[in-house]
Amino acid sequence: MNLKDIHRVFFIGIGGIGMSALARYFKHLGKEVMGYDKTPSPITKDLNLSGIDVHFEDAVALIPENYKNINDTLVVYTPAVPQTHTQLLHFQDLGFEVKKRSEVLGMITRDTFCFAVAGTHGKTTTSCILAHLLKETQTPFTAFLGGISEDFNSNFVLEGIENSVVEADEFDRSFLQLSPNVACVTSMDADHLDIYGNSSELEYSFREFVKRIKPNGKLLVRNGLPLEGITFGIEDDSDYSIRNITIEQGTYIFDLITPKAVLGQVKFNKPGRHNLLNGLAAFAMAVQAGSPPYRLAEALGTFKGVQRRFSYQIKEKDFVFIDDYAHHPTEINAVHDAIREMHPDQLITAVFQPHLYSRTQDFVDDFAQSLSQFDEVLLLEIYPAREKPITGVTSSWLLEKIDNPRKQLVDKSNLIDELKKNETGVLVTMGAGDIGLEVPKIKKELAYAS
């Protein structure tokens, strides 16, 4: 089915960050769009406000008659939806065009100049920075983002159709549906072992993704990864490198080394060396498309950020509250190091909600080591997402392994009461589950208390 033949699109799992961006895209094209999701959320509320109907019951009766024309209706689903889903089975049994989100993304971007950001960490921030840089250099593009960009206040940006910006997601090998012109790989840490089984298979999948780059395309690779490409790094001999870093009032100032020039006094406002690398990757990708390096360097200084990526919720002299999406030990380490760098000598309390039983099981010792670095740890129960419980894999099990005298398991319903007793200098909430929904409540209560 060609995109021009599609008149209606039904999304199963429409409330996901990537799915909702696609829904907005089809709505913008003038297609009829609706869908199902498991629970209401701020995203589904915004979809409703934009004229996209969302329901929360898995029932065939809720599929309108006009969505039962097999010839002009596309069905899109996320792998997070179980294969036993009633509506999914209904469309499959009747022979509808049913595609994964990644397949549709591949269809949309195939005829564009495609920028694809891959990596087990940093995809969303890098993609959002890249979108910002392209916007600031008047490069037309469409972006499908895995988070809400604070520069665009959206996860979908339409500034033209010639170029596309996408996240190349390794989960379920989704990125193998893409054929990018410019790709980057930010990281290849072991993750999604419920899909891959081991880190070698994950690495093999990244190599297969690299083969998908179009002829004469470019690959950007963080220095040290086992891939051949144009390298980027910090204080090293990479093709693109950041050197001579200083910090002034929470802003990084540095020299940016390119293969052809040295750009001095470049500014970047997002804390953390990992975010510096994300910014550098986005800069190097944009250069490959012909954007002027000096303008891109200026644009780095005006990037606002991404919701739930080291997002300051409260920033007072005596108290700071930060929220982050970190859900892997490497990401938790990066958040910890960024806080220590930006807020030295402050006591840090971490609230962490583990995401997935399988990930907790696979990396329990690494999680324990990462969390032990904080001055105090409040641990929530595991957010299951798509998974069934695994015997013995609990937050209590993880808590036992954390080497920190100030640690406790907290029920989400009691979290704010516990935080009100806290006298920390920096509070950070982390996790990829529904902890993000608690952040506005925490912010309101603690801002009032302070």
Q: Give all strands of the β-sheet with 348-352 in edge-to-edge order.
A: 311-315, 320-324, 426-430, 348-352, 376-379, 407-409
Strand, helix or coil for residue 427: strand
CB 85 within 8 A of CB 57: no
Strands (E), 80-223: 97-100, 113-118, 142-149, 154-158, 163-168, 182-185, 218-222
Residue 443 phi, psi (nearest 5)? -60, -45
Where do the H-state alpha helices sit in 178-292?
Answer: 193-196, 199-211, 273-288
What does the pLDDT read at residue 423?
Answer: 82
Topology of the domain covering 311-449:
Protein-Tyrosine Phosphatase; Chain A (3.90.190)
Q: Average pLDDT for consecutive 10-residue bins of the chain (450 residues)?
A: 86 94 94 95 94 96 92 92 93 94 90 94 94 96 94 94 91 84 88 62 88 95 94 96 93 96 95 94 95 95 93 91 94 95 92 96 96 97 92 97 96 94 92 93 81
CB atoms under 10 Å from CB of 380, counted, come to 22
CB 199 within 8 A of CB 190: yes
What does the pLDDT read at residue 80?
Answer: 81
CB 308 within 8 A of CB 324: yes
**Where, residue-wise, is CATH 3.40.50.720 in the chain?**
3-99
What does the pLDDT read at residue 201?
Answer: 80
Count of residues making up the chain = 450
Helices and strands counted in the chain (H then E): 15, 21
| Local structure of residue 172 (DSSP, 8 states) | G
Residue 122 known to bind ligand: yes
Burial of 211 (0-12, 13-18, 19+ CB in 10 A): exposed
What does the pLDDT read at residue 384?
Answer: 93
| Local structure of residue 260 (DSSP, 8 states) | S
Topology of the domain covering 110-300:
UDP-N-acetylmuramoyl-L-alanine:D-glutamate ligase (3.40.1190)
What does the pLDDT read at residue 202?
Answer: 80
What does the pLDDT read at residue 448?
Answer: 60
Topology of the domain covering 3-99:
Rossmann fold (3.40.50)
**What is the separation of C-alpha 144 from the centre of its chain, rounded to a whole number of angstroms?**
11
Residue 124 known to bind ligand: yes
Residue 148 phi, psi (nearest 5)? -90, 110
Residue 90 phi, psi (nearest 5)? -60, -50
**What is the separation of C-alpha 85 from the centre of its chain, rounded to a whole number of angstroms?**
26
Rounded Cα distance, 402 and 377, in Å: 9
Place of tokens 């564009």: 112
Rounded Cα distance, 137 and 128, in Å: 14
CB 255 within 8 A of CB 262: yes
Question: What sign results for the dihedral spanned by CA atoms 304, 306, 309, 315?
Answer: positive
Residue 160 known to bind ligand: no
Residue 361 phi, psi (nearest 5)? -65, -45
Residue 394 known to bind ligand: no
Residue 433 known to bind ligand: no
Closest CA to 166 of 118, 213, 208, 202: 118
What does the pLDDT read at residue 69?
Answer: 86
Residue 274 known to bind ligand: no
Q: Give all strands of the β-sheet with 113-118 in edge-to-edge order.
A: 154-158, 142-149, 163-168, 113-118, 182-185, 218-222, 230-234, 240-248, 251-257, 262-268
* Pairing of the two strands 230-234 and 240-248: parallel
**Where, residue-wise, is CATH 3.40.1190.10 in the chain?**
110-300
Residue 317 known to bind ligand: no
What does the pLDDT read at residue 171?
Answer: 73
Rounded Cα distance, 325 and 375, in Å: 20
CB atoms under 10 Å from CB of 226, counted, come to 10
Question: What sign results for the dihedral spanned by CA atoms 172, 121, 44, 8?
Answer: negative
The DSSP bridge partners found for residue 231 are 221
**Where, residue-wise, is CATH 3.90.190.20 in the chain?**
311-449
DSSP H or E run through 242: strand 240-248
